Structure 1
Amino acid sequence: MRIASRDIGPEFPPYLIAEMSANHNGDIERAFRIMEVARAAGADALKIQSYTADTITIRSDRPEFQIKGGLWDGRSLHDLYSWAQMPWDWHGPLFDKARDLGITIFSSPFDFTAVDMLEKLDAPAYKIASFEAIDLPLIRHVAQTGKPMIISSGMADATEIAEAVDAARDAGCTELVVLLCVSGYPAPASDYNLRTLTDMQSRFGVLTGLSDHTIDNTAAIAAVGLGACVIEKHVTLDRNGGGPDDSFSLEPDELTALVEASHTAWKALGKVDYGHKSSEVQNVIFRRSLYAVADIPKGALLSHENVRSIRPGWGLAPKHLEAVIGRRAARDIPRATPLAFELIED
């Protein structure tokens, strides 16, 4: 899979997405600054969300439209999304800013009109948010753009994930990543069950990644070790900024640490290789080998008293010890001489 000019897959470093979400806090200059921070930290992409309160919900006083508990306790859905939404007239300036910075930008659309608006901006990819993973008509509409798609699994079960993947593929999506995601804000690491990543890879035949809502980087780095090729984390300028998502987002230095650590984890995966590594070459000589530990005259028997397995590693491998014991020296072998077959009679 490729987004813009960046290849994505197990053979490439993990693709790091800095999710702005609602951390702009209603200030476009703050949004610009988050983009600058993401670029400086080494993130591959900056992601936004495209909806309005009236496209994602409706204003209603009915109980099911009220939020009870959690970060947004006491708000209605319409109030929450009015507070958090990214104004549509910001999208053009944000895409322009991304081009100036040299960072990829794309979005999570929440309805058809958002997709159509993002297409006019030539968005290079689309992300389906976790709560929208069951919105198959939206997934099909995105797939018809022919752009790469990332789907967060969120609360979708295995059947619903399969339906989302099938909907995307049937509608023409050929480049797809599914992110393991826990739709808790924040989410405890113990909820993630990262071993699910390898099952998703085989069960659905997709590239996988992690949408990480934990409060540190441990789960994301561990996910790289299990084959995650995309990591998404919410990013803010200040976790105490008071915005809807600030409290569970990474601050700039933490994003930098995530980029560096996830790349290190990917490099450590490497390939199947039982050979000597570059850092070991100079240390091979410190392995054990067979040495004369006493002077052995020509014709004398080699024994456990005059031959031992010791460090360094210039002599015969220790596995040959029993084969040489009881044989005779082909010439004088001074003490501290590494044994070689030419020093021993046939």
Structure 2
Amino acid sequence: MDNAKLLIDSAVNAGCSAVKFQKRTPELCVPENQKGQKRDTPWGTMTYIDYRHKVEFSEAQYSEIDNYCKKKNIAWFASCWDEPSVDLMEQFDLPCYKIPSAALTNDKLVKYIVSQGRPVVLSTGMSTSEEIDHAVSLLNDSNYVICHTTSTYPCPIEEINLRMIQTLRSKFDSPIGYSGHEIGIPTTVVAVALGANLVERHITLDRTMWGTDQAASVQPVGLSNLVRHIRSIEKAMGDGIKQIYDSEQSARTKLRIYNT
């Protein structure tokens, strides 16, 4: 919990709009053939199902997170992997839910999340175009964002495929986001220039810490740099209408020889 609060602090200090957590019920989300597999963890060797329980926050801990985020004046929401997780999160009146890439083809869960009446962020990693089309059709008239992502941790740069942001923008009448799992921040900044309206990155206090996605995560200093660059890009994009700015007038007078 201490680390979670430090990560929230990092997001606040960087100027992020929100922080996201994951909630899942291990008995429902861990495949049967993986539950008994042994895994080396910071708490010793244990079965994968026991490990999944170990890394899940309890209802009381989420209440603590909710209170802490309110104190820090930052929104928070969650990726929900199953219906009981949605039920638990409902008490916190979250601004939206995220449907993780792993659950994009879970029609029952997608419909259940939509039925809560909250905005939805749909992540599209490890999915075909047909699977994405089908999942979007289940969102009906919901207020939603479709996030391009590649579900590899870390993602090789040649598999980021940022042009998918433009593909999704041309295909769907909704905001398009980008969930990045690459090393570094330049490609995430480019995603904004290509039209991403929402950006998500995993964050960590230290990339040398134990965990499967640490290499794909951004440390506090990098997060601050990322947000700063994104805000600059937002300002730099402009409106696409050519004009002569006041700051150009002196140069125009001094340097322009021919006028039509």
> TM-score when scaled to structure 2?
0.91
Judging by fraction of residues, say which structure has more helix. Answer: 2
Structure 2: any 5+ residue segments left out of the alignment?
A: 40-44
Q: Deviations over 1:240-273 (max 9, x none)?
A: 1223432321000100011010111121111122
| Aligned CA distance change for structure 1 residues 145 and 270 (closer, same or farther; 3 Å) | same
Whether contact under 8 Å (2:178, 2:199) holds in the other structure is: yes
For residues 129 and 53 of structure 1, the distance between their equivalents in structure 2, rounded to whole angstroms, comes to: 15
Percent sequence identity over aligned pairs = 28
Correspondence list, 1:92-131, <5 A: 92-131=63-102
Whether contact under 8 Å (1:52, 1:87) holds in the other structure is: no
Match of residue 206, structure 1, among 141, 159, 174: 174
Q: Which amino acid aligns with 1:40?
A: N
Which residue of 2 is the match for residue 8 of structure 1? Answer: none
> TM-score when scaled to structure 1?
0.69
Q: Which amino acid aligns with 2:228?
A: E
For residues 105 and 318 of structure 1, the distance between their equivalents in structure 2, rounded to whole angstroms, comes to: 55
Which residue of 2 is the match for residue 156 of structure 1? Answer: 127
Which residue of 1 is the match for residue 42 of structure 2? Answer: none
Q: Does 1:36 align with 2:9?
A: yes
Q: Deviations over 1:69-126 (max 9, x none)?
A: xxxxx98653552343233331111011000000001001111111111111111110
Which residue of 1 is the match for residue 245 of structure 2? Answer: 277
Q: Which moved more, 1:236-245 or 1:91-100?
A: 236-245
Match of residue 46, structure 1, among 19, 32, 48: 19
| Aligned CA distance change for structure 1 residues 61 and 139 (closer, same or farther; 3 Å) | closer
Which residue of 2 is the match for residue 246 of structure 1? Answer: 214
Which residue of 1 is the match for residue 186 of structure 2? Answer: 218
SS at match of 1:210: strand
The size of the alignment, in residue pairs, is: 255
SS at match of 1:205: coil
Q: What is the Cα deviation at residue 127 of structure 1?
A: 0.5
Whether contact under 8 Å (1:239, 1:250) holds in the other structure is: yes
Structure 1: any 5+ residue segments left out of the alignment?
A: 1-27, 69-73, 290-316, 320-346
Match of residue 30, structure 2, among 54, 57, 70: 57
Structure number, greater radius of gyration: 1
Whether contact under 8 Å (2:25, 2:82) holds in the other structure is: no
Q: Which amino acid aligns with 2:63?
A: G
For residues 164 and 93 of structure 1, the distance between their equivalents in structure 2, rounded to whole angstroms, comes to: 33
For residues 79 and 59 of structure 1, the distance between their equivalents in structure 2, rounded to whole angstroms, comes to: 13
SS at match of 2:139: helix
SS at match of 2:113: helix
Q: Which amino acid aligns with 1:168?
A: L
- RMSD over aligned CA atoms reads 2.2
Match of residue 256, structure 2, among 281, 288, 298: 288
Q: Does 1:266 align with 2:239?
A: no
Correspondence list, 1:121-200, <5 A: 121-169=92-140, 173=142, 175-200=143-168
Q: Which moved more, 1:42-51 or 1:246-255?
A: 246-255
Which residue of 2 is the match for residue 298 of structure 1? Answer: none
Which residue of 2 is the match for residue 337 of structure 1? Answer: none
Q: Which moved more, 1:265-274 or 1:150-159?
A: 265-274
